[in-house]
Structure formats: structure tokens, C-alpha cells
């Protein structure tokens, strides 16, 4: 039950006008479930930082929970600083409600703790923050974003000095510090404007953003003569951060025929045209597709609010193909392998990195070009970790591409997180390459299936809201461990990998993989940032029809398990 003393203290101490008014309304509503959900726990800080619904309460995103987390981060940085050193952090934010407020609050608290804060003067993409951390030599980074979640959410991602989202050890230590920090009495905060005048807060200059774009452009992959081919594009930033950087990088590589979806061009944290601003979903791309019917471009490009994910659509006959994250991942890997091999720019012993829940087709495509595939846990910080390992070995150039099935891609080592800016550039270069050869991306994908066999993946998701939902998630995963199914979708389970018990050299994780007869598989994984369990479906056969039939059976079976 929500602690009445905690609620009373919030009534007394939460003097921020917006939060005080929202709290009064919440308590006056008499909605016991809503009050319970707002206060039944502290918003958990993990490797993805904080993410939650906006509003008053310990289990909500607001200036007090953000302040408490920032104080914990500052205490951590000061405890680990070298003698005589002044720690520094880089700060970025996207278009979400209160994102600018939370970013300025973070900077002011950093300054109040003797930490230099570098903050972007306007909203910028997640990869620009990852780049800035290393470019400016910072000890940490904070990005205020909830990625592609609905408008009621915001989040607070913390990055280490390597530009990756923090590892579990650092997250655990910060969380312990947060738990010792009173959100009202222990937070040390400077006045933002005074700290800016004193130089303890500093705007990140356009030079840093231009350096980021230079680093992105350095990853250009173009076959001889293709850069002269014309490409017509419709683009939507989904009311997020992508407009400036994506259009700039495309202009740099000679793509100027860009029609921006007008209703989704400008930042708007309410996301009025797509309640779920996720480029994986048709609903988010519908405005762009409607515009395509008027403009008739070669390609539709859509980046999510913090511009770390990108989705596409291409006219395919009378319909539109929306390549999945897996399909775009293998298309890009094949394109990079194909062009860099032909142009003689492929490094020795090239490496591609993907996750345990990404398509197995990547292995077949990579083998064609002699590319080593390394698989990591879900979370781009693990892909960033492989880049760091290669860098430590003195061969960062070996990394040629990394991707997640959830529409996140990276080429180059300039960022250690998903980068929809570099991905947008490469997707457009790839589309231009195939256009010069009389094909579109739908036809190019079909060619790959004809060559390597048909791979079909699907992610099924079950949501578990509130207190009861959190327990139901635990019970479902526990049941799969103690009484694992002997068959799924009529296919015998031939092996089970429990990543929580340890698999290969990977960190332990709450993930279960069921390997089925015929090389099919299903993986179950609770989300690390949302109250959801995801089931990842893997089907593979020689024909599209056989593969779809397999996938359909596995989807139905996975849905049954998730609803049990």
C-alpha cells in the first residue's frame, strides 16, 4: 500500500506549482488505484536510467525524482573523481513534455555539486549526446528522453565516459546513492542562469554538433558514380529531434529532394498525429505514407523522437513495404559488405555485432563477405562494449556495423548508441545504389531471401501494468523456468538456454531461449524499461509460404504463453 506519511510529506514539500496542483487533483480524485500506482514504490534506476509516467509521486517522472537521481549521479561522480579534478557531464534532451525543464534541472544540480555541466542549447538526437560525452571528455552524460514511448512518459538515460549507457555496476552504485538521498532536503542546486554566467554551466557549441555530423559523414558508403544518382525522399521526424541533423546529413551527401511531413515536422511532446511515435508501427508512418501518395518518392524515412531509431516504407506494387528492423539490418549489412568489398575499403577481419534476439539471417549474409558476427544481450550498450574492446585492441576499424531488431543501427565508432542519423544516410545511399540498378529496396530484400532462404521474425508483447502486473511478470518467467514447455506451436523443444544462469561470456540476464526442431526458436524477455514481456519469434525455411506458416504457428503459441 502507498505510505500515507510519504504522501503527506509530498503535500508539504512538493512546492513546484505544477506538481503541487497535479498532486492535489490526484488526491481529490479519490482514485485509490491511481494514488497507489503513483506512490507504491520509488521509480527504479537501472542501466537505462529512469523511465516513467509524468506526474506527482515517487513512481513518476517529475522535478523531484529527476533531482534525486541527479544528486545520486553527482555523489557518484564526486566519490570517484581523481584528486583535484572537476568532473563534468554532457546533457541533452528531446521534444518530450518537460524535457527541457528536466535537462536544465540536471545542469543546475550538477553545478550545485561542483560538477561542470555541458548542455545542448536546443533539443538534439541521442547519438549527438553519446558523441558529445567523448568529444568533450566528460565523465558522464544525461539524456532526457523516453525514446518512442507515448506522450505520458519521459525518461532519464545516463551515459558513462565511453559514451555508452552505463553498465549494471555503475547503475547499482548510483541507485544505492539515490536511496540514501532525500528528494526534497538533500538535493544541492545552483541557480541555472547564475551558474551559466559563472561558467559552471556551458552551452554545447555548434562546433560539437558539426563535428558529430563530420563523423557521421565519414561513414559514407557509396559505389563509384552512385553519388550522382537522384533520390526523392519523404521524411518525418515524428515531432521529435531529427529534422536538423537528418536533413543536414542528407544535404551533405547530395540528397536535396526531401519533402518533410508538415504535421510532424516541428517538436511536439504531445505527438498529436501518432499517439505512439514508434517508427516500427504503421500508425506512426501513416501520415508519411499519405504524403507519399501525393509526392511519389523513392523512399519514406521516419525517425523516432530522440532520433536513435529509424523506420522506412517503400512503394511495392500497389502497397507499401515496411521493412522490419531485422530486414533493414541485413539489407544494410549486405550493402556495406557488397560495396566496401567492391571498392576495396573492407578492413581486415571485419566484425558485425547484433543481439541474441535479432534475426539469424545476419549469419548467412555476413559469411558471404567474411564478416565475423558477435552476438550480445539486448541493449545497445553491449554493442558499444564490443566497439570498446576492438578499440582497446587497437583495431576499431574492424567494426563495420551493428544493429538491433528494434530499428537501431550504427556504423562507425563516433557514437556508442543507436544512431538514426548515420542510419538514415546509409539507407538513402543504399536506396540510391539500387535505384541506379533499376531496383527498389523491396526488390533488393527479395533478392536476399532468394539467395539465403526466407527468415521471418515477429515480436509479441504482453503488458503488465501496476503492482499486480509486476508480480505477474515475475510469475510468468518463473513458471517458464520451473515448468518449461516441451513443445511450442507443435514443434518439440530441443534445448533451453537460460541466460540468467549464464550463457557463453555474456552477462547474466532474465532471458529464456527455447530452441525448437527444424532450427526455429522463441525467446522470452521482460523489458528493462517498460512493464512488458516480449516473445521473439524466429522462423526459417526455403520458401516464403513455408516460413510464414511456421511463424504463424509460433506466434499463436507465444501469445498463449504470454496470456497464461
Active site residues: 147
Q: Which residues pair with 201 in a beta bridge?
A: 117
Q: Which element (helix H / strand E) includes 52?
A: strand 50-53
Classify each residue of 303-335 as buried b or exposed e, where b means 16 or more C-beta atoms within 10 Å of its C-beta: bbbbbbbbbbbbbeeeebbbbbbbbbbbbbbbb
Q: Judge whether 39 and 3 are in contact, CB under 8 Å.
A: yes
Residue labelled with grid coordinates 538514415: 424
Specify the 3-state DSSP secondary structure of 283: helix
Q: Judge whether 371 and 465 are in contact, CB under 8 Å.
A: no
What is the distance in angstroms between the CA of the first residue and the CA of the last residue of the chain?
A: 26
Residue labelled with grid coordinates 548510483: 174
Q: Which residues contact 275 (CB under 8 A, 6 or more apart)?
A: 150, 151, 283
Q: CA–CA separation, 544 vs 151, rounded Å?
A: 37
Helices (H), 3-98: 4-13, 17-29, 32-39, 63-80
Strands, E assignment, 55-137: 88-93, 116-119
Amino acid at each position: 500500500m502507498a505510505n500515507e506519511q510519504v504522501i503527506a510529506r509530498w503535500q508539504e514539500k512538493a512546492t513546484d506549482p505544477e506538481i503541487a496542483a497535479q498532486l492535489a487533483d490526484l488526491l481529490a480524485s479519490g482514485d485509490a488505484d491511481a494514488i497507489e500506482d503513483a506512490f507504491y514504490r520509488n521509480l527504479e534506476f537501472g542501466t537505462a536510467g529512469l523511465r516513467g509516467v509524468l506526474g506527482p509521486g515517487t513512481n513518476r517522472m517529475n522535478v523531484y525524482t529527476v533531482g534525486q537521481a541527479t544528486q545520486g549521479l553527482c555523489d557518484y561522480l564526486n566519490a570517484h573523481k581523481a584528486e583535484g579534478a572537476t568532473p563534468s557531464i554532457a546533457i541533452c534532451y528531446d521534444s518530450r513534455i518537460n524535457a527541457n525543464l528536466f535537462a536544465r534541472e540536471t545542469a543546475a544540480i550538477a553545478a550545485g555539486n561542483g560538477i561542470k555541466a555541458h548542455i545542448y542549447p536546443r533539443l538534439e538526437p541521442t547519438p549527438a549526446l553519446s558523441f558529445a560525452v567523448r568529444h568533450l571528455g566528460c565523465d558522464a552524460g544525461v539524456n532526457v528522453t523516453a525514446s518512442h514511448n507515448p506522450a505520458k512518459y519521459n525518461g532519464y538515460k545516463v551515459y558513462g565516459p565511453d559514451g555508452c549507457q552505463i553498465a549494471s555496476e555503475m547503475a547499482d552504485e548510483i541507485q544505492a546513492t539515490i536511496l540514501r538521498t532525500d528528494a526534497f532536503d538533500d538535493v544541492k542546486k545552483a541557480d541555472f542562469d547564475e551558474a551559466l554566467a559563472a561558467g559552471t554551466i556551458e552551452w554545447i557549441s555548434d562546433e560539437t554538433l558539426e563535428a558529430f555530423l563530420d563523423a557521421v559523414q565519414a561513414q559514407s558508403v557509396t559505389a563509384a558514380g552512385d553519388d550522382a544518382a537522384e533520390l526523392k525522399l519523404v521524411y518525418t521526424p515524428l515531432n521529435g529531434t531529427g529534422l536538423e541533423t537528418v536533413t543536414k546529413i542528407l544535404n551533405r551527401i547530395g540528397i536535396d529532394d526531401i519533402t518533410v511531413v508538415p504535421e510532424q515536422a516541428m517538436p511536439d511532446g504531445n505527438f498529436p498525429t501518432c499517439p505512439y511515435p514508434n517508427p516500427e508501427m504503421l500508425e506512426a508512418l501513416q501520415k508519411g505514407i499519405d504524403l507519399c501518395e501525393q509526392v511519389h518518392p523513392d523512399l519514406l524515412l521516419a525517425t523516432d523522437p530522440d532520433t536513435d531509431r529509424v523506420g522506412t516504407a517503400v512503394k511495392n506494387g500497389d502497397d507499401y513495404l515496411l521493412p522490419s528492423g531485422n530486414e533493414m539490418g541485413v539489407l544494410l549489412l549486405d550493402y556495406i559488405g557488397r560495396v566496401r568489398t567492391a571498392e576495396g575499403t573492407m578492413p581486415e577481419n571485419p566484425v558485425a555485432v547484433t543481439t541474441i534476439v535479432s534475426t539469424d539471417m545476419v549469419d548467412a549474409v555476413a559469411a558471404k563477405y567474411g564478416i565475423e558476427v558477435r552476438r550480445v544481450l539486448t541493449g545497445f550498450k553491449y554493442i558499444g562494449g564490443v566497439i570498446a574492446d576492438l578499440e582497446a585492441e587497437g583495431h576499431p576499424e574492424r567494426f563495420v556495423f551493428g544493429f538491433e531488431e528494434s530499428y537501431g543501427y550504427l556504423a562507425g565508432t563516433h557514437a556508442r548508441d543507436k544512431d538514426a542519423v548515420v542510419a538514415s544516410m546509409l539507407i538513402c545511399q543504399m536506396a540510391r545504389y539500387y535505384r541506379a540498378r533499376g531496383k527498389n529496396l523491396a526488390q533488393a530484400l527479395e533478392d536476399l531471401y532468394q539467395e539465403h532462404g526466407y527468415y521471418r521474425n515477429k515480436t509479441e508483447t504482453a503488458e503488465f501494468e501496476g503492482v499486480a502486473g509486476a508480480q505477474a511478470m515475475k510469475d510468468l518467467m518463473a513458471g517458464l523456468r520451473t515448468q518449461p514447455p516441451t513443445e511450442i506451436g507443435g514443434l518439440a523443444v530441443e534445448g533451453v538456454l537460460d541466460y540468467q544462469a549464464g550463457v557463453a561470456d555474456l552477462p547474466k540476464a532474465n532471458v529464456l531461449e527455447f530452441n525448437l526442431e527444424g532450427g526455429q526458436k522463441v525467446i522470452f524477455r521482460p523489458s528493462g524499461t517498460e512493464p512488458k514481456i516480449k516473445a521473439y519469434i524466429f522462423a526459417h525455411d526455403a520458401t516464403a509460404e513455408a516460413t510464414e506458416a511456421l511463424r504463424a504457428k509460433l506466434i499463436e503459441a507465444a501469445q498463449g504463453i504470454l496470456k497464461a
